[in-house]
Amino acid sequence: MTALGPQLKPERFGRYLLLDRIGTGGMAEVFRAVLPGAQGFRQTFVVKRILAERSRATDFVDMFVQEARIGSLLSHPNIVQVFDFGNVGGDYFLAMEYLRGRDVQVLMRKLREQNLMCPVPVAAFIAHEVAVCLGYAHDLKGVDGKRLNIVHRDVSPSNIMCLRTGGVKLLDFGIAKAAGENTENTEQGLFKGKLAYVAPERIKNEPLDGRVDLFGLGVVLWEMLAGRRLFRGKSELETLNNVLEKKVKPPSAYRPDVPPSLDAVVLRALERKREDRYPTGYAMADDLEKVLRETGYHSRMLADLLREAFGSDLSKSQETLSTVTPELLASFSADQVSRTDELPTASAALPPPRRWKRIAAIAGTAAAALALGGLLLARGGGGKSRAQERAENAPAAVAAPPVGDPMPAEPAPRPPAAAAVPNPPAETAPEAAPENTEAAAKSERRRHHRSSGKHGQADRVTRGLSIDPFEEAARPGKK
């Protein structure tokens, strides 16, 4: 992945605001991005977007989807976390956690510029952290309890990130494969990964397992200790020949302060016969842990090395983030108000799924209201009920009980269906005196309770309750 200069103008991409492009490769470009939220909330991500010219190539899209699928399965503190995957306007993307630090390739280049070597304990610690997460990935099981046999296939300096807080993360499972996909074609440029870090069995197109990643990690560890490249030649052919045949000297041949125990770890990881290598990443990590104790590593060594090597440059990534003003976030959020629940989709013509649910809910409510109105009209609800008539004729009475005063419970037995309630001429009720309101309401409820046996059905219709005509027709005495 090649680093690029900042892109000063923020770009809107689905739910994300792309701030600057921090790298590009043969398959995708990588952006620093923020996801704005309410009340000025924002979260920083790395958005990896497939290149436009690759978006129509099935092989590259499948590889990108494979990275998303495998990334969703992996949850380990030493593996970069994938949070989102989608398609915006035909462009597939991944949203991953944003890491603040430098990868091993950049770190080693910086140390060479300053004529410095990577401290032995720091090199052993970086390799230890990668070995642990490789052991986790290689041993990961699916929901059926069977091992997935995930193989990274691209363990190299540019894919190992050293965090300024002192942690280590393995990046880019973009060419990782699971069980059943463990061979590849090395012809016609189909070989994937960096040639100087591939294991011999990959060159021979043999079935792969997790030990291919341990070989790549052995190359990285050797180069961190020796301060030079191991297998890279002047051409791809020379590089491949070096991987297969070049004699590998222990790192202590170039650096006397490397202990024999660490030489042994490196040489075992670089065995050309995979049967002679470490069987798992956990086994390699166990031996490296002994080296860490022997060399006196402590938790601040990596963070201190990054700060000494890069100084204030280590925080320059925050400059771009500081240019994201509240006004910019507010304008972005305001434009997204109607799309808050929208997920990235390849078809912009389709409304968001939750918007359809809201429309359906409103339509359902309107239909129910129309049906209830028709029912009331059909059952005589269009005129005044006898309860209303009695309320109007009663002095000092009100048309309805006060709010919060519950209606009496409906009696259990229901009378036969009654005829339509007549609609007498409207009468003007006397004005109710305020002091008699409560007494009139109680009197009305008593009268309503006494008359419910005779007019209960009509009152239920007036109050918007349902009746069962089949049950009424079956009652004794129904004519």
In the chain, residues under CATH classification 1.10.510.10 are 100-315
pLDDT of residue 306: 96
> Does 424 have pLDDT greater than 50?
no
pLDDT digit string (tens) for 65-97? Answer: 887 888 888 999 999 998 998 888 888 898 999
Three-class SS of residue 167? Answer: coil
| Phi/psi at 202 (5° precision) | -70, -40
pLDDT of residue 437: 52
Q: Kindly report the average pLDDT of the chain as a whole number.
A: 73
pLDDT of residue 113: 94
Token pair 């500081």: residue: 322
Which tokens is 338 given? 């109607």
In the chain, residues under CATH classification 3.30.200.20 are 1-98+318-350
pLDDT digit string (tens) for 126-150? Answer: 999 999 999 999 999 988 888 888 9
CATH of 1-98+318-350, one of 3.10.180.10, 3.30.200.20, 3.40.190.170, 3.90.700.10: 3.30.200.20
pLDDT of residue 331: 53
Contact between 244 and 272 under an 8 Å Cβ cutoff? The reply is yes
pLDDT digit string (tens) for 47-62? Answer: 998 887 777 778 778 8
Q: How far is CA 201 from CA 3, 106, 191, in A?
A: 31, 28, 12
Write out the catalytic residue numbers.
154
Q: In what order do the strands lie in the sheet with 42-50?
A: 11-13, 16-24, 28-36, 42-50, 91-97, 82-88
pLDDT of residue 326: 53
pLDDT of residue 43: 87
> Does 406 have pLDDT greater than 80?
no
Residue-wise DSSP of 411-449: PSS-PPPPPPPP-PPP-PPPPPPGGGHHHHHHHHHHHHH
Residue 418 φ/ψ region, left for φ over 0, alpha for ψ in the -120 to 50 degree band, beta for the rest: beta
pLDDT of residue 167: 96
pLDDT of residue 178: 55
Quote the DSSP letter at residue 340: T
pLDDT digit string (tens) for 30-50? Answer: 999 998 877 667 789 999 988
May I ask the CATH class of domain 100-315? Answer: mainly alpha
Over residues 263-277, the mean pLDDT reads 97
Which tokens is 242 given? 């070096």
Beta strands in 329-433 (DSSP E): none
CA 280 to chain centre: 30
